[in-house]
Protein backbone atom coordinates (compact mmCIF):
# COMPACT_ATOMS: atom_id res chain seq x y z
CA UNK A 1 0.00 0.00 0.00
CA UNK A 2 1.10 3.57 -0.64
CA UNK A 3 2.17 5.73 2.36
CA UNK A 4 -1.32 7.25 2.60
CA UNK A 5 -2.92 3.81 2.85
CA UNK A 6 -4.28 3.78 -0.70
CA UNK A 7 -3.68 0.63 -2.76
CA UNK A 8 -1.73 0.30 -5.97
CA UNK A 9 -3.79 -1.72 -8.41
CA UNK A 10 -3.16 -3.07 -11.88
CA UNK A 11 -6.32 -3.74 -13.93
CA UNK A 12 -6.20 -6.01 -16.98
CA UNK A 13 -9.16 -5.98 -19.37
CA UNK A 14 -7.81 -6.43 -22.90
CA UNK A 15 -10.97 -6.15 -25.01
CA UNK A 16 -14.00 -3.83 -25.29
CA UNK A 17 -16.60 -5.59 -23.13
CA UNK A 18 -14.04 -6.25 -20.41
CA UNK A 19 -12.93 -2.62 -20.62
CA UNK A 20 -16.51 -1.49 -19.93
CA UNK A 21 -17.02 -3.88 -17.00
CA UNK A 22 -13.60 -3.05 -15.55
CA UNK A 23 -14.39 0.67 -15.79
CA UNK A 24 -17.44 0.23 -13.57
CA UNK A 25 -15.26 -1.47 -10.95
CA UNK A 26 -12.60 1.25 -11.16
CA UNK A 27 -15.30 3.87 -10.55
CA UNK A 28 -16.33 1.94 -7.43
CA UNK A 29 -12.69 1.62 -6.32
CA UNK A 30 -12.21 5.37 -6.75
CA UNK A 31 -15.12 6.00 -4.40
CA UNK A 32 -13.36 3.85 -1.80
CA UNK A 33 -9.84 5.13 -2.41
CA UNK A 34 -9.75 8.46 -4.27
CA UNK A 35 -5.94 8.51 -4.11
CA UNK A 36 -5.38 4.92 -5.25
CA UNK A 37 -2.86 4.25 -8.00
CA UNK A 38 -4.78 2.39 -10.71
CA UNK A 39 -2.87 1.45 -13.86
CA UNK A 40 -4.39 -0.64 -16.63
CA UNK A 41 -4.14 -2.72 -19.73
CA UNK A 42 -7.36 -1.43 -21.23
CA UNK A 43 -9.11 1.16 -23.33
CA UNK A 44 -11.27 4.28 -23.39
CA UNK A 45 -13.81 3.21 -20.77
CA UNK A 46 -11.11 2.53 -18.19
CA UNK A 47 -9.40 5.81 -19.03
CA UNK A 48 -12.67 7.70 -18.54
CA UNK A 49 -13.17 5.96 -15.18
CA UNK A 50 -9.86 7.30 -13.92
CA UNK A 51 -7.35 4.54 -14.66
CA UNK A 52 -3.97 5.31 -16.18
CA UNK A 53 -3.67 3.31 -19.38
CA UNK A 54 -0.13 1.98 -19.46
CA UNK A 55 -0.90 -0.54 -22.20
CA UNK A 56 -3.62 0.47 -24.71
CA UNK A 57 -5.68 -2.58 -25.58
CA UNK A 58 -6.14 -1.35 -29.15
CA UNK A 59 -2.53 -2.36 -29.81
CA UNK A 60 -3.19 -5.95 -28.78
CA UNK A 61 -6.83 -6.86 -29.48
CA UNK A 62 -7.54 -8.47 -32.87
CA UNK A 63 -10.04 -10.83 -34.49
CA UNK A 64 -9.00 -13.78 -36.62
CA UNK A 65 -6.68 -16.75 -36.13
CA UNK A 66 -3.69 -15.44 -38.06
CA UNK A 67 -4.08 -11.94 -36.62
CA UNK A 68 -4.02 -13.43 -33.12
CA UNK A 69 -0.83 -15.32 -33.94
CA UNK A 70 0.78 -12.10 -35.14
CA UNK A 71 -0.02 -10.42 -31.80
CA UNK A 72 1.38 -13.21 -29.60
CA UNK A 73 4.86 -11.63 -29.34
CA UNK A 74 3.29 -8.34 -28.21
CA UNK A 75 1.28 -10.13 -25.52
CA UNK A 76 4.40 -11.93 -24.32
CA UNK A 77 6.27 -8.62 -24.05
CA UNK A 78 3.34 -7.17 -22.13
CA UNK A 79 3.31 -10.15 -19.75
CA UNK A 80 7.05 -9.82 -19.14
CA UNK A 81 6.77 -6.08 -18.50
CA UNK A 82 3.97 -6.41 -15.94
CA UNK A 83 5.68 -9.42 -14.34
CA UNK A 84 8.76 -7.25 -13.73
CA UNK A 85 6.50 -4.68 -12.07
CA UNK A 86 5.05 -7.38 -9.82
CA UNK A 87 8.50 -8.56 -8.76
CA UNK A 88 9.57 -4.97 -8.10
CA UNK A 89 6.62 -4.46 -5.74
CA UNK A 90 4.92 -1.84 -7.87
CA UNK A 91 1.39 -3.18 -7.21
CA UNK A 92 -0.56 -4.55 -4.26
CA UNK A 93 -3.36 -6.12 -6.28
CA UNK A 94 -4.05 -7.27 -9.82
CA UNK A 95 -7.67 -7.20 -10.97
CA UNK A 96 -8.16 -9.39 -14.04
CA UNK A 97 -11.37 -9.00 -16.01
CA UNK A 98 -12.36 -11.73 -18.47
CA UNK A 99 -9.79 -12.15 -21.36
CA UNK A 100 -8.70 -15.57 -20.02
CA UNK A 101 -5.97 -16.44 -22.52
CA UNK A 102 -3.81 -13.62 -21.20
CA UNK A 103 -5.26 -12.93 -17.76
CA UNK A 104 -4.74 -16.43 -16.40
CA UNK A 105 -1.03 -16.13 -17.17
CA UNK A 106 -1.01 -12.67 -15.61
CA UNK A 107 -2.58 -14.02 -12.41
CA UNK A 108 0.06 -16.76 -12.29
CA UNK A 109 2.81 -14.15 -12.61
CA UNK A 110 1.26 -12.15 -9.77
CA UNK A 111 1.11 -15.27 -7.60
CA UNK A 112 4.81 -15.98 -8.13
CA UNK A 113 5.64 -12.41 -7.12
CA UNK A 114 3.43 -12.47 -4.02
CA UNK A 115 0.90 -9.97 -5.39
CA UNK A 116 -2.75 -10.41 -4.40
CA UNK A 117 -5.11 -11.34 -7.23
CA UNK A 118 -8.84 -11.00 -7.88
CA UNK A 119 -10.44 -12.34 -11.05
CA UNK A 120 -13.74 -10.84 -12.27
CA UNK A 121 -15.88 -12.57 -14.93
CA UNK A 122 -14.10 -15.88 -14.79
CA UNK A 123 -13.62 -18.02 -17.90
CA UNK A 124 -16.40 -20.54 -18.46
CA UNK A 125 -14.24 -23.48 -17.48
CA UNK A 126 -17.26 -25.36 -16.15
CA UNK A 127 -18.45 -25.89 -19.74
CA UNK A 128 -15.56 -27.82 -21.18
CA UNK A 129 -12.25 -27.39 -19.30
CA UNK A 130 -12.84 -28.19 -15.62
CA UNK A 131 -9.24 -29.34 -15.29
CA UNK A 132 -8.00 -25.86 -16.10
CA UNK A 133 -10.05 -24.51 -13.20
CA UNK A 134 -7.45 -25.96 -10.83
CA UNK A 135 -4.85 -23.83 -12.56
CA UNK A 136 -7.02 -20.77 -11.96
CA UNK A 137 -7.58 -21.80 -8.34
CA UNK A 138 -3.83 -22.01 -7.78
CA UNK A 139 -3.26 -18.53 -9.24
CA UNK A 140 -5.93 -16.30 -7.65
CA UNK A 141 -7.05 -15.34 -4.17
CA UNK A 142 -10.73 -14.79 -5.01
CA UNK A 143 -13.01 -14.98 -8.02
CA UNK A 144 -16.01 -12.71 -8.64
CA UNK A 145 -18.47 -14.58 -10.84
CA UNK A 146 -21.53 -13.35 -12.74
CA UNK A 147 -23.53 -16.58 -13.11
CA UNK A 148 -25.32 -17.98 -10.05
CA UNK A 149 -24.23 -21.59 -10.52
CA UNK A 150 -20.50 -20.80 -10.73
CA UNK A 151 -19.61 -20.61 -6.99
CA UNK A 152 -20.55 -24.25 -6.52
CA UNK A 153 -18.37 -25.29 -9.46
CA UNK A 154 -15.31 -23.32 -8.34
CA UNK A 155 -15.70 -24.63 -4.79
CA UNK A 156 -15.02 -28.13 -6.13
CA UNK A 157 -11.52 -27.03 -7.16
CA UNK A 158 -10.77 -25.13 -3.97
CA UNK A 159 -11.25 -21.51 -4.95
CA UNK A 160 -13.57 -19.09 -3.20
CA UNK A 161 -15.92 -17.63 -5.79
CA UNK A 162 -18.61 -15.09 -4.93
CA UNK A 163 -21.62 -14.38 -7.12
CA UNK A 164 -21.81 -10.60 -7.56
CA UNK A 165 -24.72 -10.43 -10.01
CA UNK A 166 -24.61 -10.06 -13.76
CA UNK A 167 -23.60 -6.60 -15.06
CA UNK A 168 -26.13 -6.90 -17.89
CA UNK A 169 -28.99 -6.31 -15.47
CA UNK A 170 -27.85 -2.70 -15.02
CA UNK A 171 -27.81 -1.81 -18.70
CA UNK A 172 -30.71 0.44 -19.77
CA UNK A 173 -33.26 -1.19 -22.05
CA UNK A 174 -35.59 0.51 -24.50
CA UNK A 175 -39.31 0.44 -23.90
CA UNK A 176 -41.00 -2.12 -26.15
CA UNK A 177 -43.58 0.28 -27.58
CA UNK A 178 -40.93 2.95 -28.22
CA UNK A 179 -38.62 0.40 -29.86
CA UNK A 180 -41.38 -0.75 -32.20
CA UNK A 181 -42.22 2.82 -33.15
CA UNK A 182 -38.55 3.58 -33.79
CA UNK A 183 -38.31 0.62 -36.15
CA UNK A 184 -41.57 1.41 -37.93
CA UNK A 185 -43.58 -1.55 -36.66
CA UNK A 186 -47.35 -1.42 -36.54
CA UNK A 187 -49.26 -2.57 -33.50
CA UNK A 188 -50.44 -5.78 -35.18
CA UNK A 189 -47.19 -6.70 -36.89
CA UNK A 190 -45.33 -9.76 -35.62
CA UNK A 191 -41.57 -9.21 -35.71
CA UNK A 192 -38.79 -11.78 -35.62
CA UNK A 193 -35.49 -10.55 -34.14
CA UNK A 194 -32.49 -12.36 -35.64
CA UNK A 195 -29.04 -12.49 -34.04
CA UNK A 196 -26.55 -14.46 -36.15
CA UNK A 197 -23.51 -13.39 -34.11
CA UNK A 198 -20.76 -10.82 -34.42
CA UNK A 199 -17.74 -12.79 -35.57
CA UNK A 200 -17.18 -13.12 -39.29
CA UNK A 201 -17.19 -16.93 -39.23
CA UNK A 202 -20.38 -17.02 -37.16
CA UNK A 203 -22.21 -14.75 -39.58
CA UNK A 204 -20.97 -16.70 -42.59
CA UNK A 205 -22.12 -19.99 -41.10
CA UNK A 206 -25.36 -18.93 -39.40
CA UNK A 207 -26.85 -16.17 -41.55
CA UNK A 208 -27.89 -18.38 -44.53
CA UNK A 209 -29.54 -20.81 -42.11
CA UNK A 210 -31.29 -18.09 -40.11
CA UNK A 211 -32.36 -16.25 -43.27
CA UNK A 212 -34.04 -19.36 -44.67
CA UNK A 213 -35.81 -20.06 -41.39
CA UNK A 214 -37.10 -16.46 -41.36
CA UNK A 215 -38.27 -16.82 -44.97
CA UNK A 216 -40.36 -19.86 -44.04
CA UNK A 217 -41.96 -17.97 -41.15
CA UNK A 218 -42.80 -15.08 -43.46
CA UNK A 219 -44.22 -17.41 -46.09
CA UNK A 220 -46.47 -19.09 -43.52
CA UNK A 221 -47.64 -15.75 -42.14
CA UNK A 222 -46.28 -16.47 -38.66
CA UNK A 223 -44.19 -13.28 -38.82
CA UNK A 224 -44.65 -10.15 -40.88
CA UNK A 225 -41.27 -8.46 -40.32
CA UNK A 226 -37.72 -9.75 -39.91
CA UNK A 227 -35.21 -7.53 -38.09
CA UNK A 228 -31.53 -8.50 -38.10
CA UNK A 229 -29.09 -7.13 -35.55
CA UNK A 230 -26.26 -6.21 -37.90
CA UNK A 231 -22.73 -5.86 -36.55
CA UNK A 232 -19.51 -4.44 -37.94
CA UNK A 233 -19.19 -4.41 -41.70
CA UNK A 234 -20.81 -7.82 -42.17
CA UNK A 235 -23.12 -8.31 -45.13
CA UNK A 236 -26.51 -10.03 -44.84
CA UNK A 237 -27.56 -10.91 -48.39
CA UNK A 238 -31.32 -11.42 -48.73
CA UNK A 239 -34.23 -10.87 -51.11
CA UNK A 240 -35.13 -7.51 -49.62
CA UNK A 241 -37.61 -8.84 -47.07
CA UNK A 242 -35.18 -8.38 -44.16
CA UNK A 243 -34.42 -5.12 -42.34
CA UNK A 244 -30.82 -4.92 -41.08
CA UNK A 245 -30.56 -2.72 -37.99
CA UNK A 246 -27.03 -1.64 -37.12
CA UNK A 247 -25.83 -0.01 -33.94
CA UNK A 248 -28.55 -0.87 -31.42
CA UNK A 249 -29.10 -4.56 -30.81
CA UNK A 250 -31.17 -3.79 -27.70
CA UNK A 251 -33.70 -1.99 -29.88
CA UNK A 252 -34.10 -5.09 -32.06
CA UNK A 253 -34.62 -7.36 -29.04
CA UNK A 254 -37.13 -5.01 -27.45
CA UNK A 255 -39.16 -4.78 -30.67
CA UNK A 256 -39.23 -8.50 -31.45
CA UNK A 257 -42.16 -10.76 -30.63
CA UNK A 258 -39.73 -13.68 -30.76
CA UNK A 259 -36.02 -14.08 -31.47
CA UNK A 260 -33.70 -16.49 -33.24
CA UNK A 261 -30.32 -16.17 -31.55
CA UNK A 262 -26.95 -17.83 -31.57
CA UNK A 263 -25.79 -19.22 -28.23
CA UNK A 264 -23.92 -16.80 -25.98
CA UNK A 265 -24.59 -13.67 -23.94
CA UNK A 266 -27.35 -12.63 -26.35
CA UNK A 267 -29.57 -15.31 -24.81
CA UNK A 268 -29.35 -13.51 -21.45
CA UNK A 269 -30.04 -10.17 -23.14
CA UNK A 270 -33.17 -11.68 -24.69
CA UNK A 271 -34.23 -13.00 -21.28
CA UNK A 272 -33.78 -9.54 -19.76
CA UNK A 273 -35.88 -8.11 -22.61
CA UNK A 274 -38.55 -10.78 -21.95
CA UNK A 275 -38.36 -11.89 -25.58
CA UNK A 276 -39.11 -15.59 -26.22
CA UNK A 277 -36.42 -17.25 -28.29
CA UNK A 278 -34.99 -20.27 -30.05
CA UNK A 279 -31.25 -20.80 -29.66
CA UNK A 280 -29.16 -22.29 -32.44
CA UNK A 281 -25.53 -22.76 -33.39
CA UNK A 282 -23.39 -24.50 -35.95
CA UNK A 283 -19.66 -25.11 -36.03
CA UNK A 284 -17.38 -27.15 -38.26
CA UNK A 285 -18.19 -30.89 -37.90
CA UNK A 286 -14.71 -31.63 -36.50
CA UNK A 287 -15.11 -28.89 -33.91
CA UNK A 288 -18.53 -30.27 -32.99
CA UNK A 289 -17.11 -33.77 -32.59
CA UNK A 290 -14.43 -32.51 -30.22
CA UNK A 291 -16.92 -30.39 -28.28
CA UNK A 292 -19.21 -33.38 -27.67
CA UNK A 293 -16.29 -35.21 -26.06
CA UNK A 294 -15.18 -32.43 -23.74
CA UNK A 295 -18.38 -30.55 -22.84
CA UNK A 296 -19.48 -31.11 -19.27
CA UNK A 297 -22.82 -29.27 -19.31
CA UNK A 298 -26.24 -30.36 -20.50
CA UNK A 299 -27.15 -27.17 -22.38
CA UNK A 300 -25.31 -24.63 -24.54
CA UNK A 301 -27.47 -21.59 -23.78
CA UNK A 302 -26.81 -19.50 -20.70
CA UNK A 303 -30.56 -19.11 -20.19
CA UNK A 304 -31.05 -22.84 -19.68
CA UNK A 305 -27.89 -23.11 -17.58
CA UNK A 306 -29.01 -20.32 -15.25
CA UNK A 307 -32.52 -21.76 -14.97
CA UNK A 308 -31.23 -25.29 -14.48
CA UNK A 309 -33.79 -26.60 -16.95
CA UNK A 310 -34.78 -26.37 -20.61
CA UNK A 311 -36.51 -22.98 -20.76
CA UNK A 312 -35.70 -22.31 -24.43
CA UNK A 313 -35.31 -24.74 -27.35
CA UNK A 314 -31.73 -25.44 -28.43
CA UNK A 315 -31.36 -26.63 -32.03
CA UNK A 316 -27.76 -27.17 -33.08
CA UNK A 317 -25.51 -28.71 -35.72
CA UNK A 318 -27.24 -31.07 -38.17
CA UNK A 319 -30.53 -30.69 -36.30
CA UNK A 320 -30.45 -26.99 -37.18
CA UNK A 321 -32.35 -26.83 -40.46
CA UNK A 322 -34.57 -23.97 -41.68
CA UNK A 323 -37.67 -26.13 -41.23
CA UNK A 324 -36.72 -27.15 -37.68
CA UNK A 325 -35.98 -23.59 -36.62
CA UNK A 326 -39.18 -22.24 -38.19
CA UNK A 327 -41.27 -24.96 -36.56
CA UNK A 328 -39.84 -24.15 -33.11
CA UNK A 329 -40.31 -20.40 -33.56
CA UNK A 330 -43.84 -20.35 -35.00
CA UNK A 331 -45.71 -21.08 -31.73
CA UNK A 332 -43.89 -18.20 -30.00
CA UNK A 333 -45.74 -15.69 -32.20
CA UNK A 334 -49.14 -16.81 -30.88
CA UNK A 335 -49.83 -13.98 -28.47
CA UNK A 336 -51.11 -15.43 -25.24
CA UNK A 337 -50.31 -18.92 -26.49
CA UNK A 338 -48.97 -21.70 -24.29
CA UNK A 339 -45.46 -21.78 -25.80
CA UNK A 340 -44.75 -18.07 -25.32
CA UNK A 341 -46.38 -17.91 -21.88
CA UNK A 342 -44.50 -20.95 -20.62
CA UNK A 343 -41.20 -19.65 -21.88
CA UNK A 344 -41.77 -16.20 -20.38
CA UNK A 345 -42.30 -17.81 -16.97
CA UNK A 346 -38.90 -19.43 -17.34
CA UNK A 347 -37.30 -16.17 -18.48
CA UNK A 348 -38.68 -14.47 -15.35
CA UNK A 349 -36.86 -17.09 -13.25
CA UNK A 350 -33.64 -16.37 -15.14
CA UNK A 351 -33.98 -12.63 -14.52
CA UNK A 352 -34.48 -13.29 -10.82
CA UNK A 353 -31.39 -15.51 -10.63
CA UNK A 354 -29.14 -13.00 -12.41
CA UNK A 355 -29.27 -10.80 -9.31
CA UNK A 356 -29.83 -7.11 -8.79
CA UNK A 357 -27.78 -4.01 -9.60
CA UNK A 358 -24.46 -3.30 -7.89
CA UNK A 359 -22.06 -5.91 -9.32
CA UNK A 360 -19.18 -3.45 -9.63
CA UNK A 361 -19.59 -2.22 -6.04
CA UNK A 362 -19.52 -5.82 -4.81
CA UNK A 363 -16.32 -6.48 -6.78
CA UNK A 364 -14.73 -3.40 -5.20
CA UNK A 365 -15.76 -4.72 -1.79
CA UNK A 366 -14.09 -8.04 -2.61
CA UNK A 367 -10.93 -6.19 -3.68
CA UNK A 368 -10.80 -4.51 -0.28
CA UNK A 369 -11.21 -7.88 1.45
CA UNK A 370 -8.43 -9.45 -0.65
CA UNK A 371 -6.08 -6.59 0.19
CA UNK A 372 -6.88 -6.90 3.89
CA UNK A 373 -6.43 -10.68 4.06
- Residues 161 and 194 occupy one common structural domain: no
- State pTM to two decimals: 0.86
Distant-in-sequence, close-in-space partners of 238: CB < 8 Å, separation ≥ 6: 211
CATH number at residue 109: 3.40.50.2000
**Which pLDDT does position 166 carry in this prediction?**
95
Low-confidence ranges of the chain (pLDDT < 70): 1-4, 59-72, 126-131, 283-297
Is 187 in the same domain as 327?
Answer: yes
**Integer-rounded Cα radius of gyration of the chain:** 22
- Write down the pLDDT at residue 92: 97
pLDDT at res. 292? 60
Q: What's the per-residue H, E or C state across 263-315?
A: CCHHHHHHHHCCCCEEEEECCCHHHHHHHHHHCCCCCCCHHHHHHCCCCCCEE
pLDDT tens, position by position, 162-197: 999 999 999 889 999 999 999 999 888 999 999 998
Beta strands in 203-271 (DSSP E): 225-230, 242-246, 258-262
Q: Does a structural domain hold residue 1?
A: no
pLDDT of residue 134: 83
Give the separation between CA 279 and CA 264, rounded to whole angstroms.
9
CB atoms within 10 A of CB 145: 21
Nearest alpha-carbon partner for 189 in 161, 226, 237: 226
Query: How many domains does the chain fold into?
Result: 2
The predicted pLDDT at position 195 comes to 94
The residue range of the domain holding 102 is: 8-165+358-372
Query: Both 144 and 196 in a single domain?
Result: no
Quote the pLDDT of residue 86.
Answer: 96
Please report the pLDDT score of residue 64 as a whole number: 43
Amino acid sequence: MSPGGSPRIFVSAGEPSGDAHAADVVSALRRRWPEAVIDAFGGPALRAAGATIRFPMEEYTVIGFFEVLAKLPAHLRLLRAVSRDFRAGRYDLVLSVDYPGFNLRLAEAAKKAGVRSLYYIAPQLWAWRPGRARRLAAAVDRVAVILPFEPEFFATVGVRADFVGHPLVEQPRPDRAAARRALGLGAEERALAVFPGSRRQEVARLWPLFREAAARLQASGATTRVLVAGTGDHEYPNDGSVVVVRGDAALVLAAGDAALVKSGTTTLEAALADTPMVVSYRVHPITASIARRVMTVQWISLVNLVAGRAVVPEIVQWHATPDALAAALAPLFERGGVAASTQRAGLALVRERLGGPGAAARVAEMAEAVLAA
